[in-house]
Amino acid sequence: MIMHPRARTTPWSRAQIVAHIAAGRPVSEIALALGISRQTVYKWLRRWREGGTPALADRRPIAHSFPTRLSETTERQIRALRCARRLLGREIAGALELPRSTVIKALKRLGLGRLSMLEMPLLIQRYEYERPGQMVHIDIKKLARITKTGHRIPGYRRHMADGGGWEHVYVCVDDATRTAYLEVRRREDRFEAAGFLEAAARWFAQHGVRFERVMTDNGGVFGSTPWRQVLAELGARQIRTRPYCPRTNGKAERFIQTMLRECAYGVAFSNSEERTAALMAWNRYYNEERPHSALKLTVPILRLRQCQQSA
């Protein structure tokens, strides 16, 4: 325990007090020499007699009793109402005729401050397809168009840029190899989405990959007629993510997070064209040079070639 910086006595000086008393020195003389009161000398002498040398250490500043604390019986009742009937704090307070603030504190102390704490932990089932193209993940990330350096770089709100509209980064990530393809497009609509799917399929086809399944979220652009037409031409099947569960499309989400941290938000750009060029260069670096932790530090494009050779 950290001692107070202005403490008059320390465990060592308290032991000296006991030693001087045992040697027969007067209490008043010891108090004068140490600059403390006679009552302080008697206090440490009493503690030493009750607990020996360990009692000369500082005690934690915690009360020995809590007269206003709820009884164990009441806390058990609060726990039962929370767990069995899933009542809110105000409802428990009304049922037990207790102040709402008291019930809230008790729930926090019991680790039941939120109803979500009663839910079973979600089991995340990880998966990875064996062949390239068996599953690709597609998502869209909206980025503000750059008119000047925004507040993300200097960190000051006075550097906030005026609204310049939006750009949209379309990404496609192969499940088996993490090989990724991205494009920056002006709009997020059905024609842009269908065009990106065609472009992504061509790019992957140049690397010997054919789409079999395409996973997207439940956005309207991924259910439009142009989108379905391109899927039919590719002979691919669409899989939608579970509603309100972005982790279902986690490989695309993780790629976007890395892209933002390492490139889009990690560097100050003068304009949107400069950022677009940097994103395309970063995409090549991601595929060809950057080790991927999920691939045991293998580069995605190398993993792609390894899968094709073993097929």
Look at residue 99 in the predicted model and tell me its pLDDT: 93
CA pair distance 73, 98, nearest whole angstrom: 14
Look at residue 216 in the predicted model and tell me its pLDDT: 94
- What is the pairing mode between strands 213-216 and 180-185? unpaired
* 220-225: average pLDDT: 94
- Residue scoring higher pLDDT (59 or 132): 132
Lowest mean pLDDT among 52-66, 170-184, 195-209: 52-66
pTM of the model: 0.62
pLDDT band at 2 (very low <50, low <70, confident <90, very high): low
Decide if pLDDT at 120 tops 80. Answer: no
Contact 214/138 with Cβ under 8 angstroms?
yes
Look at residue 3 in the predicted model and tell me its pLDDT: 66
pLDDT digits over 225-237, tens only? 999 999 999 999 9
CA pair distance 78, 74, nearest whole angstrom: 6
Q: Which residues of 216-251 are buried (b: 16+ CB within 10 A; e: fewer)?
A: bbeeebbebebbeebbeebebeeeebeeeeeebbbb
Q: Left, alpha or beta for 35 (phi > 0: left; psi -120 to 50: alpha)?
A: left
Look at residue 245 in the predicted model and tell me its pLDDT: 78
Contact 161/238 with Cβ under 8 angstroms?
no
* 254-268: average pLDDT: 92
Look at residue 58 in the predicted model and tell me its pLDDT: 85
CA pair distance 227, 194, nearest whole angstrom: 5
Look at residue 89 in the predicted model and tell me its pLDDT: 92
| Sequence-separated (6 or more) residues with CB below 8 Å from residue 286 | 180, 255, 258, 259, 300
Q: Left, alpha or beta for 86 (phi > 0: left; psi -120 to 50: alpha)?
A: left
pLDDT digits over 44-57, tens only? 999 999 999 888 88
* 265-283: average pLDDT: 93
CA distances 106 to 62, 76, 95, 243, Å, are 19, 10, 15, 35
136-310: which CATH architecture? 2-Layer Sandwich (3.30)
Look at residue 247 in the predicted model and tell me its pLDDT: 77
Look at residue 267 in the predicted model and tell me its pLDDT: 86
| Sequence-separated (6 or more) residues with CB below 8 Å from residue 38 | 27, 28, 31
Contact 35/13 with Cβ under 8 angstroms?
no
pLDDT band at 151 (very low <50, low <70, confident <90, very high): low
User: Percentage of the chain with pLDDT > 70?
Assistant: 91
Look at residue 91 in the predicted model and tell me its pLDDT: 93
